[in-house]
């Protein structure tokens, strides 16, 4: 999902939890402030980005033994400390969840048309 609004990791985890899952792994990317950086502008080619995110979610379910995947990426003007992206992966076991989460962030950075410019 692409959104201009912030998201709640707690709410996303709550929605994902299922009795058969023994692990939910999360990755949270935030705007870091180094030197003169005051924030970040995030531009998204939305239609293509949404399609590619959905494809990545399907791929993760097929390649790894995971029960659930959720990816949320923000767009717009963000300040230092703001959330940019969250990836959640639910699985029966932690190893599969960690492997899938790492795969997803790596592939997202390579394939999804999102551009970030530090301000």
Domains in the chain and their CATH numbers? 2-118 (3.90.1170.40)
Tens-digit pLDDT profile for residues 44-79:
999 999 999 999 999 999 999 899 999 999 999 999
Q: CA 25 to CA 12: how far, in whole Å?
A: 12
* CA-CA-CA-CA dihedral for 75, 46, 14, 67, to nearest 10: -140
Residue 118 pLDDT greater than 90, yes or no: no
Reported pTM: 0.93
Task: Summarize the confidence of residues 33-38 as an average pLDDT.
Answer: 85
Mean pLDDT for all residues in the chain: 95
- Segment 72-94 mean pLDDT: 96
Number of DSSP helices (H) and strands (E) in the chain, helices first: 3, 7
Report the DSSP beta bridge partners of residue 25: 89
């Amino acid at each position: 999902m692409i959104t201009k609004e912030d998201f709640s990791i707690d709410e996303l985890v709550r929605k994902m939890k299922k009795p058969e899952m023994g692990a939910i792994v999360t990755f949270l990317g935030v705007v870091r402030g180094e030197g003169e950086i005051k924030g970040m502008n995030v531009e998204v080619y939305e239609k293509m980005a949404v399609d590619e995110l959905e494809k990545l979610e399907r791929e993760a379910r097929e390649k790894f033994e995971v029960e659930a995947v959720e990816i949320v990426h923000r767009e717009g003007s963000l300040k230092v400390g703001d959330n940019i992206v969250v990836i959640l992966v639910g699985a029966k076991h932690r190893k599969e969840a960690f492997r899938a989460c790492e795969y997803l962030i790596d592939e997202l950075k390579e394939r999804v048309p999102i551009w970030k410019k530090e301000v």
